[in-house]
A and B are shown apart, each in its own frame.
Chain A
Amino acid sequence: MAELRFRPPLQEAAHSGVHGVGTPSLAITVRNGVACCLVLARRGFAEVTAERLELSLEPGRATIGAERCCLPIAPGEWLVLEQWRADGGLRMQLEGDAAGLAYVSDQSHGRQVIRVAGPAARDLLGRGCRLDLHPRKCRPGFCAATSIAEYACALVQVDAVPSFDLVVAAGYAESFWLWLTDHAAMFGYRAAIETVDRP
């Protein structure tokens, strides 16, 4: 009898280790242990939802806490990322906190988070991202719902290394991974796959 074990989208495509040319100047991490929810404020409740959940109302500016990262991706809509604890856990917590103000759609299985970190991160993302990621324009906390090459992607700069979290649809994750690592090869990269203790 098979077990209903969690199987991440990049189970077969991603391989940890050093890849590409020369000394790695990039670290690429498959973040399997991230819970992800979409918070959808009801009409007229965006500001109070933001206040209640400590979300940013400023487009392009994410709130990054010790455990939670919240990206405003459309008026009254936020993508909330947090370390995975239990299936549906983040959704239930957010639903409780925003009861009557917003609805929450659990996307923890529908999105794949990939972290790209290192001095060459901007150059790598520049192969497909149309946004200006220069430090003058893009500091930690910068976020956008954009596209990288042909892939819809939510992007957030999490620190000054710089490190970027890229959130892509699970169905496109493998295709995007191949695109990303193909381009990363010329910079050299170290791939890591985050394991998560899901049932």
Chain B
Amino acid sequence: MSQPFRLDGRGRVDRQQPLSFRFDGTTYTGYAGDTLASALLANGVHLVGRSFKYHRPRGILAVGAEEPNALVELRTGARVEPNTRATQVELFDGLVARSQNHVGTRAVDLMAVNQWFAPFLKAGFYYKTFMGPGGAWERLWEPIIRRAAGLGRAPRQPDPDAYEHAHLHCDVLVVGGGPAGLAAADAARCAGARVVLCEQEPRLGGALLGEIDSLAPWVDEVASGFDGEDARLLGRTSVVGYYDHGVLAAVERVADHLPTPPEGVRQRLWIIRAGAVVLATGSYEQPLLFQDNDRPGIMLASAARRYLLDFGVAPCRQVVVATATDDAYRAALDLVAAGVAVPTIADVRAAPGPFAKAAEAAGIEVLRGAVPLRALGRQRVRGLEVSVDGSAPRRLEGDALLVSGGFQPALQLASQAGAKARFDPDLNAFVPREPAQNARLAGAARGVFRLDACLADGREAGASAARDLGFALPSLPPLPAVDEPEERPWPAPLVPRDGKRAFVDLQNDVTVADLRLAVQEGYRAAEHAKRYTTLGMGTDQGKTAMPAGLAVLAAATGRPLAELAPTTMRPPVVPVAIGVLAGRTRGRDFRPIRRSALHDWHERNGAVFVEAGDWLRPSYYRDGALSLMEAAAEEAMTVRRAVGICDVSTLGKIALFGPDARTFLDRVYANGFAKLPVGKARYGVMLREDGIVFDDGTTSCLADDRFLMTTTTANAGAVLEHLEFLHQTAWPELDVVFCSETEQWCQMALAGPRSRDVLARLLDGVDVGDLVLPFMGFLEAAAEGVPVRVFRISFSGELAYELACPRGYGEGLWQRCLDVGAAFGIRPYGVEVLSILRIEKGHPAGQEIDGRTTAGDLGLGRLVERSATGVGKPLASRRDLTDPGRPQLVGLRPVDPEARLRGGAHLVENPMAASTATDLGWISSAHWSPHVGSWIALAFVAGGVERFGDACLWAVFPLRNEAVEVVVGPVCFVDAEGSRLRG
């Protein structure tokens, strides 16, 4: 029979829309408006999975986000989603779900053998039981425990869905669309405040959905006001974190209720900045503690009531009720009215509230002072053993057991807002104090449980939030009238004498006995006991475990419950998919890509790109079947023999203006710039304040009050910040301004003996001979009317120029160079060759300027000694930084020309005794040099110059078990006298 527990004429699901779904391979039906949990219950499925540690059979305890047991795996293929609460899964046609955490079937789970070993698996067992024998932890126990631990399986395929982030601002954020939240949101909206209302369910109403009279007209009226930019309703949205300064995070399940997301995103992470927040997050009903209180079929009374009234589902044919609250009587009476047998209510209180009489009038036996001892049944509850006033146990038969131990305000967000909780002895619940942030609590979230009071409390919270932000409150229509009898309070959680198999935390299988053991072993503080036992550390954050857990600790330590406080609650309040946290920042969009003006040309012409910060730079250009090394060798030899062209747009370019720009530069650089003439460029070394080299580059004087500084690609942003810092804090009196012009200019290096020939044919009527444009000279010219800045600087050691034109003309100028240069054998080269050429020439780069080296280490000591001023100069003269024993930059070649050198290799005299004690230095850069015909390297070696010609050093690379004998020499492998670059 289809849906045998669905009751005719009851519930608010859409009977006109039947839906088909599968659970563990069996096809069932439900209705639109069902959750997976309600549909399973309608089909009589109570056993839905196995517990975390002991693999005990588990059912559906709750109806919402607090569900600790009914965690299932959804969907198939790449969309597999483990550990999802069946109580929050909206049913759709074709939904496929599976139970989790079993070997075999959910009914016959081989891992249930863990229950037999329960005496060995108690709290902290892995710290004790698996100590030995020596080494067995890593090899044996940890792999076994890791395999056994965890719940669902993570999907193996990449997530096919899209997620996004979005920002939202409002005056008042109301969290929770129950009676208090709706009243608050309505009041704030009527006051004119910009309001965002977040409700985690697809429908508004909260606890009202579990009532006979759900105040639907009032809810609809309030909802109708939330239809625009100023009053926004976010349904299916869980607020998961409350951060500093009124920033909250919420996850909107945009398309989780659909078989596959249509266009757009599956989930959205909202980052909400709110002027004030109303937390109307409601409360969670708490279960009772007794032996085997985790059997499938045991359900919170309020959950059963909502399944009945909202979904039209009866939990079974005959129900036993064990309660400490009056609220469970409502569930019992509604079930009786629906035709479900409720023979007995076992009330732990000696004096129940006003509903007891009504229950007895309905034919229900009410046992007063009835303490639940033990649940009967195994894979499905079969009844309850109770003891009335200490009498002999009595068996109450039933195929479902409703429990109600009291209500606990949802403290999670309040706690994150800085509201510590205190125990309220009148309510016997932990209630939040004042939040540290501009947040108000409303309704059950602060212990106001009566519906009429909730409505009024919510309205006041919303109104005062708006009022405090300066909004005037108009007169509001009266709130809906509700008539509720006074209820009697529930007692503090009862702690059973026998704590075995009395589960406090159902998700993490933590029992009363575990907590007592923790106390016995010294973990008396709640935070310590939590960590030792994992109490409240499951994905449900112990929403149905906290008050009872603290009660057990209080009893075990002989302290009053009021002396304990809930442990710190951290985001996220409910589990969040990693995908929504990543949003779009994955794959191509993992981080921004910065492209030079020539990027498209490089791409069209076979460039293989390499990342340089955000930039993508051509590493080399594919040339037929040539490998990287072969292609790079070809490119490098073209530069040495003819002419090559390289995109150097990525170098940082900072324009400095002002009469004091020269003074500023003279102070910023460790070498002097005071006398740099107009039309000339100079190499500069920039130190950090501690004397370590920060960056280097050339700076050109365009006019007496205009300079152009270049920086390394990697440090462009950092250097600009450095300049800003110095100008704003050290020398605010200097009349200088500066800004980045990196993006404005496309820059290309033209290098090689024929570079001047290309240049001469490129520029409009400009003499580029040595007299007009000598080494380190600068001039402004034009190519076909486009302005071109020409710098005669060289990184390769060859006759070379750098040409800069406005970015938009970059590709044209580049192509023009290639066209003109074709006659001279020009070819483009990438950063691989840039690196070869500069190693051959002995120029330090990022591998050498690594934040540890001084100008002296780099062989630039004499350059910086000439200037007395400059940032970092005082500390650069410290003894440790001027120690002649510091490793100095040298050049290396292997004795065997075929041997390969590797960056990162260490240098020792005896490769058989390589250790940190015998370490003499390291190779910072290495490459095969087509010019030299062997591998060459730049390295830092203690003793430096004194070792020139010394063939007794070995470069050892333990990762590959390599040792190569090397010869130490000068850093420069090509044209040491500089005749080529001065051409």
Contacts and interface: CB of A to CB of B under 8 A. Distances in A.
A171 B615 contact: yes
Given A107-B743, A111-B743, A134-B229, A42 B735 contact: yes
Contacts of A4: 783-786, 805, 809, 812-813, 816
A171 B194 contact: no
Interface string A176-199: 101100110110000000000011
Contacts of A102: 737
Given A4-B783, A88-B787, A151-B592, A105 B808 contact: no
Interface in B471-492: none
20 contacts: A1-B816, A2-B812, A21-B264, A40-B657, A42-B735, A43-B732, A88-B787, A103-B658, A106-B806, A109-B807, A110-B807, A134-B194, A134-B229, A169-B594, A170-B807, A172-B593, A174-B599, A175-B592, A178-B588, A179-B589
A41 B592 contact: no
Interface in B95-126: none
Nearest to A6: B808
A174 B593 contact: yes
Contact of A171 (B588, B743, B813): B743
A52 interface: no
Contacts of B273: 130, 132
Contacts of A130: 167, 271, 273
Contacts of A126: 166-168
Contacts of B739: 38, 40, 77, 105
B596 A171 contact: yes
A11 to B, nearest CB: 7
A134 B808 contact: no
A127 interface: yes
A59 to B, nearest CB: 17
B259 to A, nearest CB: 18
Contact of B737 (A41, A169, A175): A41
Contacts of A67: none
B816 A2 contact: yes
B819 A2 contact: yes
Nearest to A199: B785
Contacts of A132: 169, 273
B600 A12 contact: yes
Interface string A10-24: 011000000001000
Contacts of B787: 87-88
A43 B735 contact: yes
B744 interface: yes
A174 B808 contact: no
Contacts of B706: 103
A199 B812 CA distance: 11
Contacts of A11: 600
B730 to A, nearest CB: 14
B146 interface: no
B743 A110 contact: yes
A83 to B, nearest CB: 16
Interface string A82-126: 000001100000000000001101111111000000000010001
Nearest to A87: B806
B595 interface: yes
A186 to B, nearest CB: 4
B743 A6 contact: no
B212 to A, nearest CB: 40
B563 interface: no
A3 B814 CA distance: 11
Contacts of B165: 127-128
Interface string B726-758: 000000111101110111111000000000000
A7 interface: yes
A185 B264 CA distance: 8
Nearest to A22: B263
A106 B739 CA distance: 10
B290 to A, nearest CB: 51
B584 interface: yes
A137 B597 CA distance: 37
Contacts of B167: 126-130
B655 interface: yes
Contacts of A174: 593, 595, 599
For B166, B194, B273, B805, which residue has the most chain A Cβ atoms within 10 angstroms?
A: B166
Nearest to B734: A43
Contacts of A40: 657, 737-739
Interface of B: 164-169, 194, 229, 263-265, 271, 273, 584-585, 588-589, 591-597, 599-600, 614-615, 655, 657-658, 706, 732-735, 737-739, 741-746, 783-787, 805-813, 815-816, 819
Nearest to A186: B264
B589 to A, nearest CB: 7
A109 B806 contact: yes
A140 interface: no
Nearest to B650: A171
A146 to B, nearest CB: 11
Contacts of B589: 178-179, 182
A136 B230 CA distance: 10
Contacts of B743: 107, 109-111, 169-171
Nearest to A5: B812
A122 B585 CA distance: 21
B808 A198 contact: yes
B584 A182 contact: yes
A127 B592 contact: no
Contacts of A21: 263-264
A33 to B, nearest CB: 12
A21 B262 CA distance: 11
Q: Which 3 A-B pairs have the closest CB atoms?
A: A110-B743, A110-B744, A103-B657
A129 B595 CA distance: 23
Contacts of B593: 172, 174-175
Contact of B806 (A77, A108, A169): A108
A19 B114 CA distance: 57
Nearest to A169: B743
Given A2-B815, A169-B594, A179-B589, 7 more contacts: A9-B807, A103-B706, A105-B655, A109-B809, A110-B743, A130-B273, A186-B264
A66 B169 CA distance: 32
A137 B550 CA distance: 47
Nearest to B593: A175
Contact of B808 (A7, A41, A43, A151): A7
B814 to A, nearest CB: 9
Nearest to B591: A150
Contacts of A87: 786-787, 806
Nearest to B268: A127
A107 B737 contact: no
A20 to B, nearest CB: 8
A7 B811 CA distance: 7
Nearest to B601: A7
A110 B742 contact: yes
A170 B592 CA distance: 12
A8 interface: yes
A174 B599 CA distance: 11
For B658, B737, B811, B812, which residue has the most chain A Cβ atoms within 10 angstroms?
A: B737
A136 B192 CA distance: 12
B166 A127 contact: yes
A16 B295 CA distance: 63
A109 B808 contact: yes
Contact of A103 (B584, B597, B737, B807): B737
Contacts of B805: 4
Contacts of A43: 732-735, 737
Contacts of A169: 594, 743
A8 B808 contact: yes
Nearest to A40: B737
B738 to A, nearest CB: 8
A150 B591 CA distance: 8
Contacts of A129: 167
Given A1-B819, A4-B785, A186-B263, A42 B807 contact: no
A171 B595 contact: yes
Contacts of B194: 134, 136
